[in-house]
Chains A and B, each alone.
With several copies, the nearest count.
Chain A
Amino acid sequence: MKLRFDESVESFRAELLGWLAANRPSAEEMAADPSVSTGHAPAWARRWTRTMFDAGWLVPGWPPELGGRNATPTQTLVYLEELARARVPRTSNVQGLGIVAPSIIDYGTPEQIEQYAMAILHGEATACLGMSEPDAGSDLASLRTRAVRDGDHFVVDGQKVWTSGANYADFCFLFCRTDPDVPKHKGISILLVDMDTPGITVRPLPEIVHPDHPDLNEVFFDSVRVPADRLVGELGAGWAMANGSLAHERGMVWVSAVQGIEEALARLLDEAPATTATLPPTEQALANDRIVQVAIDATAARCLGYRAFAKLARGGTAPEQALMKLFSSEVRQRVAEVAAEVQGPDALVTGEVAFDGHQAIDEPQGTWLEQYFQSFANTISAGTSEIQRTIIAERVLGLPREPRPT
C-alpha cells in the first residue's frame, strides 16, 4: 500500500512525457479540424495514430509489431493517465482501437489482421461496432440481424441501432445471427463488413443535445453481400467473442472516465466561487456542499480505480469493472447535474458547442446542462447502470440470479 510507483514506472513515465512533448499534435492543430464522431478520424488524427504506432506508443502493452513495447500493466496505467492529462486523444475511434482491433487480432485470420486490424492501428481505417438492435438493447441474445450463407458470401439483412460512428466508419464489426435454430445465445457470429458495401443505409440519430453533431446511427442492412472470408473466428462463436472482446485492457477502462470526471470537477471548482458569489451565505453553503459531495465522489472514483487495478496487477479477478462503470458514469453525471443546478437559470442558456479536438468525442460537451443530458449516453450504453447493479449483486455479492427465460 503506497502512494507512489516504483522507479521503473517513473522512468517509463518520463520517457513518455519526453516523447509526447516532441511528437504530439498541437492543441491548435486538433482544434482546427476536430473529430466530430467516433468513426471520424481527421487527417492529423490518422497521422498521430501512425506516429504512435511506429514509436511503440499506441498500445504499449502489445509487442512492437503491433504498435507497443511490451509494457507492464502498471506502465500501461501510467500511459493512459499521462495521455489523458496531456489532453491529447489516443484515438477518436475508441471502439476501433479498444475493441475491434484487439478482437480481430485475437480471433481473426492473418489476412483479416493485416487488412482490418492493422489498418486501424496504422490510422488508415476506423471501425464501428454493430451490436445493439431495436429489440435487443442490452440483450445481445435477442439479436435478429441475420446472415445467411449463399455460396462464398453471407447475405445480411437486418437493422442495428445506437451504432456509434457508423456515419463515418470504414467498416463494421457486425454481430449477426447465422443459425436461427439454436438457443438464443448460440448461433451468433461476427462479420467484418465494409461500410460502402451496397445495401447498407446509415441514418444518423440526432441526440437530445447537439443534434447537429450526431454520433449514434441506425444502420440498415438490405441483402448486403459479405464475402465469407470476412467471418471472424468460428461460426456461431460470437457470444464468446463478445465477452472476450470487452476484456481488452480490462481494469483500465476507468482511467479515461476518471480523468473526464476530474477535468469536469476542476472546471466546476474553478467556476464555482464566481457563480455563487451573488448568493446569500446560506445558499452558498448549500451549493458548496453539493460540489464537495461530487468532489468526494471524484476522489473515490480514482481510489477505487487504483484498487481494482492493484487487484488485477496481482493476478486477482477484478469484479470492480462493473462497479467502476457504474460509479464513474454516475459521478460524471452528478458533476454536470450539480454544476447546472448551482448555475441556476444561467444553466438554461445554450449556444454553439465548440468541439475542441482534445476531448474524446464521446465525452459530454457544451454547457453543464447539455453535458448532464449527454452524460446519459454513458449510463445507458455498454450495459445500463441497472445491468451493472445486477452484475454487482450477482457476481460480486453472490446473490441468487433471477429466473431468466432460456
Chain B
Amino acid sequence: MDLELDTDQQELRDHARSFLADSCPPSLVRDLFEGRVIEGRVVEGRVVEGRGPADSGGLWSAMVELGWPALAAEVDHGGLGQGFVAEAVLASELGRVVAPGPYLATVTQFAPVLVAAGAAELLGRVSAGDLTGALALGAADASARADGDGWTLDGVKTHVLDGASAEEIAVVARLVGSRGHEGVGAFLVPRAAVAVEPLTVIDPTMPLATLRLDGVEVDGARVLLDPRDPASFDALEHVRRHATVAMALSGVATCRAIVEATVSYAKQRHQFGRPIGSFQAIKHRLADLYLAVERADALAWYAAVCLAEDDARLPVAAAMAKAALGDCQRLATRDGLQLHGGIGFTWEHDLHFLLKRATTTAFLLGGAEHHRAELARHLGLVA
C-alpha cells in the first residue's frame, strides 16, 4: 500500500496550492465572512466575470477555466479521467485555504449520484462547469409517490450544502411505505422547484439551506436512481461514502492549516523571555496535535485510495476517516485557539475562518460518534 502522492499528483497539488494562494487569499474569505458581495470582481489584476452567486470573487470561474470540475471525471463523462485521487487533492487544497464555491457540493456530492445514474449528459455539463448541484441525503426525510409516469416528492431536507445556490438538487427520497434497504431512490429536482430557506451559519463558505418539498412533481426522465430498483440503496451508500471521504480530506487539510498556523505562532510569540514553542508542555501538545492530524490524514487518504480503486474496504475506511476527522478537529480547534491566546480570539485574525470551517466539515455528513457507531456494525461488534 502506497499512500504518498505520485509525481503527477504532487504536481497537481503544487499547482493547485499556488493557484489558490493567488486566487483565494484570506481577504476573499474575509469578504464572505463579512457579508460583502463579491460576485465577479477583480482578481490579481484581471476582471473575472462572475458565474452566479456562488462564484465568490470569480474563484469558481477560474477553477472551471482550469478544468477542475472535469479533472477526476471519466472521459466518457466529459472528464479528464484522472480519478478520485485528483479530486481528493483538490478537495484537500480547497480545505486548506477555506475556499468558498461549488466544488465540494457539485463535484464530490452531486456528481457521484449522476455517475451512479449513468447520467453522462449531465456529467458533461458538470465537467464543463455549466451546471452546479447539491445533494440532499437522508431517505427518511422525504417521501416519493409514483404518479403516472412521474413522481411526487414531499418532505424537508436539512443542512443541504449549497442548497440555496445550486442549480439542480439530487434529492434522496423513500417510497411511501417502504423500509430498510428497499424503496430508496434519488431524483433530480431544479432548485427553483423547492422552497429554499438559506441558513445563517458559522462558516459562510459552507452555505447550508433547508429545502422544503411540498408535492414537487418530478418527470420520469429526472429519476436518477429508481426507488423500485433494489440496487439503488447500495448505489446511494457509495455516493454517501464518496461525499464523506471528500469531506474528510477537505476537513483534515483545514485542520493541518490550523496546526501549521499554531506552530508558526508558537515560534514567533515570546512570553517570559522565550518563544512559547520552546516550552515543553506546548511542544508536547503540538506533537500530539500533529499526531492527530497525521492519523486523520493517513486514514483519509487510505479511504481515498479505497474509493479510487473501488476496494471493498471502503465502507470501513470512509467511516474511520470521518471519525478521525472528528477527533482531529476537536483537538485542533481546542488547542489551536487556546495556544494562539487572545490574538486568535479576535475577529481580525484569520484563524477563526479555519476553526469554523474545520468544525463545519466535522459536523456535516456525520460526526465522530455517528461513524464510530457505524464502525461497530462493520467490525462485527453488533449485528
Judge A-B direct contact (beta carbons within 8 Å): yes
A394 with B283: CB separation less than 8 A: yes
Since A307-B4, A377-B345, A380-B338 are in contact, a sample of 18 more A-B pairs with Cβ atoms closer than 8 Å, ordered by chain A residue number, is A1-B9, A207-B346, A211-B347, A286-B369, A288-B381, A288-B382, A341-B363, A345-B159, A348-B208, A369-B202, A380-B342, A386-B281, A399-B267, A399-B275, A400-B278, A402-B280, A404-B272, A404-B273
Interface residues, chain A, with chain B CB atoms under 8 Å away: 1-5, 132, 135-139, 142, 161-162, 205-208, 211, 216, 269, 272-273, 276, 280, 282-293, 295-297, 299-300, 302-304, 306-307, 310-311, 314, 320, 323, 326-327, 333, 337, 341, 344-351, 369-370, 373, 376-377, 379-381, 384-386, 388-390, 392-394, 396-402, 404-405
A377 to B344, CA, bound (A): 10
In the assembled complex, the Cα of A342 lies from the Cα of B311 at a distance in Å of 32
Instruction: Tell whether B221 is near chain A: CB-to-CB under 8 Å.
Output: no
* B235 at interface, CB cutoff 8 A: no
- Which residues of chain B are within 8 angstroms of A326 by Cβ–Cβ distance? 287, 291
Mark out the residues of chain B between 244 and 282 whose CB falls within 8 Å of any chain A CB in the assembled complex: 263, 266-267, 270-275, 277-282
Q: Is the interface of B mostly helix, strand, loop or mixed?
A: helix
Interface residues of B in 281-335 (CB under 8 A from A): 281-284, 286-288, 290-291, 294-296, 298-299, 301-302, 304-306, 308-309, 311, 316-317, 320, 323-324, 330, 334
The answer on a CB contact under 8 Å between A306 and B3 is yes
- Cα separation A276 to B317 with both chains bound (whole Å): 25
Contacting residues, chain A, for B9 (C-beta < 8 A):
1
Instruction: Tell me, in angstroms, the Cα distance from A376 to B308 when the chains sit together.
Output: 39
Closest chain B residue to A298 by CB distance?
Answer: B320
User: A404 — which chain B residues lie within 8 A by C-beta?
Assistant: 272-273
Q: Which residue of chain A lies nearest to B360 when distances are taken between CB atoms in the complex?
A: A348
Instruction: Knowing A3-B305, A208-B352, A393-B283 are in contact, say whether A269-B290 is a contact too (CB < 8 A).
Output: no
Instruction: Identify the 6 closest CB pairs spanning chains A and B, nearest first.
Output: A393-B283, A405-B273, A303-B298, A310-B4, A206-B347, A208-B352
A216 near B272: Cβ-Cβ < 8 Å: no
How far apart are A12's CB and chain B's nearest CB, in angstroms?
16
- Cβ–Cβ contact B324 & A300, under 8 A: yes
Residues of B close to A398: CB separation below 8 A:
263, 267
Find chain B residues with CB under 8 A from A341 CB: 330, 363, 367, 369
Closest chain A residue to B380 by CB distance?
A269
B66 CB-CB contact with A under 8 Å: no
Q: Determine if B291 and A1 form an interchain contact, defined as CB atoms under 8 angstroms apart.
A: no
Chain A residues, Cβ within 8 Å of B273: 142, 404-405
**Contact residue among A137, A286, A333, A350 (Cβ-Cβ distance under 8 Å from B373):** A286
Q: Could you say which residues of chain A place their CB within 8 Å of the CB of B352? A: 208, 373
Nearest-CB residue, chain A, relative to B284: A389
Contacts A288-B381, A295-B375, A392-B291 given; does A139 touch B277 at CB 8 Å: no
- Cα separation A286 to B374 with both chains bound (whole Å): 12
